[in-house]
Amino acid sequence: MARLEILKYPDPRLAKIAHPVANITENTVELINSMLETMYAAPGVGLAATQVGVLQRIVVMDVDHENPHKTIYKLINPVITHSEGSLVWEEGCLSVVDFTAEVRRAEQVQVVALDEHDKELKIEAEGLLAVALQHEIDHLDGKLFIDRISRLKRDLYARRRRKMLRSGTQPSEPQHVMI
């Protein structure tokens, strides 16, 4: 396993759409394990392969802060098959540094995916797990949570981020859970 570099906004690779995984191989499992190591080190509760520059539909998550490593999700080709309700959640992202915003998401989702053993998983989720699933699947579709906020807030963040990059300012330590 190796820690991977997490791409940061405005890297154009974050806007790419990931391709379905046709065959789950030893390399797929190695990527998943490296993504988990990277996610925990960041620290975050979710990571999509697109965030580490790999255009494959793979997501790893662990939303249980109290018991890390207890309930790990390793999802290959995840698809939201049902959603209902609505909630607003304060989101942050490992690829969108120094910024959080309220995002409207479905309150409950059902997701179907494969695990690393090519077995189908069905996940019924609400709360943080539902938000994290939607957030990570958005990454696979080339979307960031800032694409779901007002243009004004997004533009203000983009200008601030460009200024940070020009000046060489380092991001601060996250104050919220980063998805």
DSSP 27-61: HHHHHHHHHHHHHHHTT-SEEEGGGGT--B-EEEE
Q: Is 0.75 topped by the overall pTM?
A: yes
d(CA 158, CA 155) in angstroms, rounded, equals 5
The region of weakest confidence among 67-81, 96-110, 165-179 is: 165-179
Closest CA to 114 of 124, 123, 126, 125: 123
For residue 174, say if its preceding peptide bond is cis, omega within 30 degrees of 0.
no
Determine whether 84 is an active site residue.
no
How many CA atoms are closer than 13 Å to the CA of 117, on its beta-carbon side?
A: 3
Give the residue, 172 or 151, on which the prediction is more confident: 151
Q: In the structure, what pLDDT confidence band is assigned to residue 94 with cuts at 50, 70 and 90?
A: very high
Report which secondary-structure segment, H or E, holds 162: helix 151-167
Closest CA to 14 of 130, 143, 128: 143
How do residues 21-50 score in pLDDT, each as one tens digit?
999 999 999 999 999 999 999 999 999 999
What is the pLDDT, as a whole number, of residue 1?
Answer: 73
Q: In the structure, what pLDDT confidence band is assigned to residue 178 with cuts at 50, 70 and 90?
A: low
What is the pLDDT, as a whole number, of residue 174?
Answer: 58
Q: What value does the mean pLDDT of the chain take?
A: 94
Count of residues in the chain: 179
What is the pLDDT, as a whole number, of residue 173?
Answer: 62
d(CA 175, CA 78) in angstroms, rounded, equals 29
Intra-chain end-to-end CA distance of the chain, in Å = 21
Q: Which of 5, 66, 90, 136 is catalytic?
A: 136
Domains and CATH numbers, the chain: 12-167 (3.90.45.10)
What is the pLDDT, as a whole number, of residue 65?
Answer: 79
